[in-house]
C-alpha cells in the first residue's frame, strides 16, 4: 500500500520470482475485504466488507 496523495491508500501489484505460480500478499491488506480470485479470467475482484 502506498499513499496516493489524496489521504487514502492504493494497492500495488507487482510481479516477482517467488516460485512457480506463487503470490505473496500481506494479511493486513486482506482484512475487511472480500476477495474474488478469477483464475480463468485472470482477474482479482476486491470489495470492502461492511
* pLDDT tens, residue by residue, 18-50: 767 666 666 677 788 888 877 778 788 889 987
Is residue 11 predicted with pLDDT exceeding 50?
Answer: yes
- Give me the residue spans of the domains in the chain: 23-50
DSSP code at position 20: T
Q: Which stretches does DSSP call E strand in the chain? A: 2-3, 9-10, 33-38, 43-48
pLDDT at 10 over 60: no
What cell was used for 46? 476486491
Residue 3 has pLDDT above 70, yes or no: no
Amino acid at each position: 500500500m502506498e499513499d496516493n496523495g489524496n489521504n487514502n491508500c492504493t494497492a500495488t501489484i507487482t510481479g516477482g520470482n517467488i516460485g512457480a505460480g506463487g503470490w505473496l500478499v500481506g494479511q493486513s491488506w486482506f482484512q475487511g475485504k472480500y476477495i474474488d480470485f478469477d483464475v480463468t479470467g485472470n482477474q482479482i475482484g476486491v470489495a470492502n466488507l461492511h
